[in-house]
Amino acid sequence: MTIRSRDLQPPGFLVRYDCRHYSGYKPCGVNPVCQGCDHYDPAGQRILVIKLAAMGDVLRTTPILPALRREYPRAHITWLTRPESRGLLRCNPHLDRLLVWGLDATLILEAIPFDLVLNFEKDLAALALAERLHVREHRGFRLTNHGTVGIADECAAEALRLGLDDHHKFHVNTKPMQQIVCEMAGLSWDGTLYHYVPSPRTLAMRQSFAQMHPELAGKMVIGVSTGCGPGFPTKQWAMKNVLDLLKRLSERPGTVTLLLGGEREAEFNRRILQEAGGWVIDTGCHNTFEDFAGILLNCSAVVAADSMPVHLATALDVPAVALFGPTTPREVDLGPRGEKVVTDFECSPCYRTRCDKSPLCMEAMGADLVAEAIERVLVRAAPHP
């Protein structure tokens, strides 16, 4: 039996299967045909990045893309993620292909040979998938022979230790997650915090939201996000403190406050609006990710617990005030425009999902501390003559 090449050329018609512009569905839009095309751009190494969730962690992994481009300028880069993170990556110019976790993506990946797979996931299904692929080199996390989380090489040792050694994670480590991710891949980190490109829909939402709310014009717009993500409900700032902050902001001259949240915060925000409806503009809890990003672009500063809005605001160059209670601030870098408000509880960080202390650390973190942090970030963000 003769096995035919999968790169078989059609008779009398040149097709550049390896060109970055080729899709196979229609003309690429750069040149009508491959023959004689001056824009032929053959892809180099095929690289797969696996980072599924959570959304804030996906954002913090994006600096790997410019680092890869510096090291492998002609590489064809694919990223595998979950549906909720697709909007974070859709417009990134460093990505050649974006795949969403599921059967279709698995079938595609199993049929393509890769020169390098970078797995930043400890999820066992993601680790198992990486083992099934045709791969020349693995970096990052890898499935051991015992069916447990291991490392592909020594570059990932520090990342593994941070998940296993609480003392090291809480009191020794000084590296932000972006640096840790680049080092896992054996690459140097240039200080890039995020590499996120807003979509046209996000930019349109920025404009339409401003048009819907002319009262924002010329004002300091403070976004207050009440969410904390599903993994650590203990990160949520107490309702009383949110209300205290909203009242203080309502009394601040030239200031408008936006109440932010996702679907999980719908009931929480409804109760806030019952008490403080006249102090804030409700942005709703059912915005798409792209629309949510467009709303953030209208903000002068954003306040949030250690969660996705903190990372998204920073990625959009909006100063963020991040609140840390049960989680460590050591792995989060907000850049020169952001500020961290950290609990003074001795038991923090604990990474507990439930706590019976009274008060909780996020209850004891008063609105005055947060309001002062907001003032500082606004001063730093103000244009200087």
- We report the CATH number of the domain holding residue 287 as 3.40.50.2000
Q: Both 208 and 338 in a single domain?
A: yes
One domain for residues 91 and 141: yes
The CA distance from 353 to 239, in Å, is 18
Say whether both 177 and 215 belong to one domain.
Answer: no
- The last residue of one of the domains, among 185, 217, 236, is 185
Question: Of the candidates 156, 181, 174, which has an alpha carbon nearest to the alpha carbon of residue 331?
Answer: 174
**Residues 153 and 272 both lie in one domain:** no
By C-alpha distance, which of 83, 51, 330, 333 is closest to 194? 333
- Taking residue 209's Cβ as centre, other Cβ atoms within 10 Å add up to 20
Query: How far is residue 237 from each of residues 77, 145, 252, 326, 383, measured CA to CA in Å?
Result: 39, 42, 21, 11, 31
Identify the pLDDT of residue 385.
59
Domain annotation covers residue 345: yes
User: Are 219 and 76 members of one domain?
Assistant: no
For residue 130, the enclosing domain spans 46-185
pLDDT of residue 7: 83
Is there a domain that residue 11 lies in? no
pTM over 0.95: no
User: Is there a domain that residue 20 lies in?
Assistant: no
Domain membership flag for residue 63? yes
255-260 and 220-225 strand pairing: parallel
110 in any annotated domain:
yes
Residue 289 lies in a domain: yes
Domain boundary among 138, 157, 185: 185
Rounded-to-integer distance, Cα 244 and Cα 231, Å: 26
Please check whether residues 209 and 179 belong to one and the same domain: no
Instruction: Beginning with the edge strand found earlier in the chain, give each strand of the sheet holding 134-143 in spatial order.
Output: 97-100, 76-81, 46-50, 113-119, 134-143, 149-151
95 and 206, same domain (yes or no): no
286 and 324 co-located in one domain = yes
Are residues 50 and 111 located together in one domain of the fold? yes
**Residue after which a domain boundary falls, among 123, 154, 185:** 185
Total count of domains within the chain = 2
Let me know if residue 124 belongs to a domain.
Answer: yes
Reading the chain (385 residues) residue by residue, the pLDDT tens digits are 344 567 888 888 899 998 988 888 899 888 889 998 999 999 899 999 999 988 999 999 999 999 999 999 999 999 999 999 999 999 999 999 999 999 999 999 999 999 999 999 999 999 999 999 999 999 999 999 999 999 999 999 999 999 999 999 999 999 999 999 999 999 999 999 999 999 999 999 999 999 999 999 999 999 999 988 788 899 999 999 999 999 999 999 999 999 999 999 999 999 999 999 789 999 999 999 999 999 999 999 999 999 999 999 999 999 999 999 999 999 999 999 999 999 999 999 999 999 999 999 999 999 999 999 999 999 998 876 5
Identify whether residues 266 and 361 lie together within a single domain: yes
Domain co-membership, 235 together with 126: no
Q: Are 211 and 354 in the same domain?
A: yes
Phi-psi label, residue 147: left if phi above 0, alpha if psi -120 to 50, beta otherwise: left
